[in-house]
Amino acid sequence: MTPAAHPSRPRNPFAALAHRLESEVFSGLLMVAAALIALTWANSPWRGAYESLSTTVVGPHALHLDLDLATWAADGLLAVFFFVVGLELKQEMVVGSLRDLREAALPMLAAVFGMAGPAVVYTAVQLVGSGDVSGWAVPTATDIAFAVAVLSIFGKGMPPAARTFLLTLAVVDDLLAIIVIAVFFSHGLNVLALLGALAVVALFGLLVQRGVTHWFLLIPLGAVAWWLMHASGVHATIAGVLLGLTVPARPTRREPTGMTARFTHLVHPFSAGIALPLFALMAAGVNLVDAGGLGQVLTDPVAVGVYLGLPLGKILGIWGSVVVLTRFTGLRLGHGVDTPDVLGLATIAGIGFTVSLLIAGLAFGEGSTMEHARAAVLLGTAISAVLGAVLLQVRVRTHRRGTPSARTGTIHVRRH
């Protein structure tokens, strides 16, 4: 087929890469590749070089930004990811799947229980094991990029509304994860720095509300807001979320698709193609060799709580709550989605890669416990992905034997 047959395909290699990154499958595989490289490197004979790289300190000491590269990845690069999360939250709340509370109520409540379930599983394991419940938040988050990638690959033939359910679930999960990070993992609050950060965010919001979108104004303001938030003791990624939430979402004559959609389109390639893979490279390099080997990781109560909490906790929280709510309240599933479908969706919601790795570092700091927790995140994510893929394939075969009307529904697109 000649190139003329694909007039919309970008010819510029950078534009072509940005276009590829819009695919959840491609961006998800990119993160998987970065994580596998990190895990292999951190357990190879050259693991000392990986440790040296991740602990290399760069940045100006005068601004208290002399941070190691692992911290820059978690606090700096992830702020870009959370800015995109803020944009998507605003989009969904104003014109998307959270606009109609009657439609969104069931997945929203399922998301709340979907964070409570893993926390309960983790805490229960610790009460009969280590007694240390400080890592309760590690298995609570869902990595929507991976989850949607698994659904895209193994869920072809599911009702389109299944994707909408998962995306709505993820929006609320993102919001709850942000609240958890802000409330439980902020230390030594500097009120003046926090007020300064909020003032800069307000100025950023005032500019975008008035249609001022010059990059040479907004990017420096975003950087200052991030720096002040970092100095305040509140986790710096919160600045990214707040900045994203200030951007207007409603379509206008000047912004026919909405400013949040345009900003997401511009920033998403950097988030998915650079920020998340580099974070994965810095965060997923768990040194199992010097941490006692895989056997010690598998038996550490902290790790057990995490790798059981991700798949089991999400299933109990999401699927269990949907079963109970649809039986004893007026809330109902619709558009061809039923409770066995939700079982598959709940299982892939146990893919907790990005935010779970971040919270593991915040909860345990440096040391073998943090290494075990991060290894357990990778293991729990793998279990959730494999088990979820199997359950989705079972449901796909069931739907293909059903009627066409079972495969109708609406969809709101959301990208990570």
Please give the pLDDT value at position 8: 54
Q: How far is 45 from 61, CA to CA, in rounded Å?
A: 33
Which class for 151: exposed (0-12), middle (13-18), buried (19 or more C-beta within 10 A)? buried
Strands 57-58 and 67-68: antiparallel
Please give the pLDDT value at position 308: 96
Helix (H) or strand (E) holding 102: helix 101-127
| DSSP one-letter code for 92 | H
Q: How far is 121 from 142, CA to CA, in rounded Å?
A: 16
Alpha helices in 190-236 (DSSP H): 191-209, 215-232
Cβ atoms of 305 and 139 closer than 8 Å: yes
Q: How far is 375 from 42, CA to CA, in rounded Å?
A: 12
Residue 57 has phi, psi (to 5 degrees) of -95, 130
**CA–CA distance from 32 to each of 178, 185, 380, 385, 404 (Å)?**
23, 26, 14, 12, 35
**Residue indicated by tokens 């290699």:** 13
Nearest-5° angle of CA 319, CA 324, CA 326?
95
Q: Kindly state the tokens that stand for 361.
A: 């570092």
Please give the pLDDT value at position 11: 63
Q: How far is 14 from 12, CA to CA, in rounded Å?
A: 6
Cβ atoms of 235 and 40 closer than 8 Å: no
Please give the pLDDT value at position 233: 87
All domains of the chain in start order, with CATH: 23-186+235-399 (1.20.1530.10)
Q: How far is 172 from 212, CA to CA, in rounded Å?
A: 29
pTM of the model: 0.81
Please give the pLDDT value at position 414: 40
Nearest-5° angle of CA 241, CA 243, CA 244?
65
Q: How far is 208 from 210, CA to CA, in rounded Å?
A: 5
Q: How far apart are the first and last CA of the chain?
A: 31
Which class for 309: exposed (0-12), middle (13-18), buried (19 or more C-beta within 10 A)? buried
Cβ atoms of 379 and 308 closer than 8 Å: no
For each of the chain's 416 residues, which pLDDT tens digit applies? 334 444 455 567 777 777 787 777 788 888 889 989 998 999 999 989 999 998 899 999 888 888 889 889 888 898 998 899 889 889 888 887 777 777 788 999 999 999 999 999 999 999 987 777 889 999 998 887 788 888 888 988 888 888 888 888 887 888 888 889 888 887 778 899 999 999 999 999 999 999 999 999 999 999 999 999 999 988 888 899 899 999 999 988 888 888 999 999 899 889 888 998 998 898 888 888 876 677 777 889 999 999 999 999 999 999 999 999 999 998 888 778 899 999 999 999 999 888 898 899 888 877 778 889 999 999 999 999 999 999 999 999 988 876 443 443 333 334 34
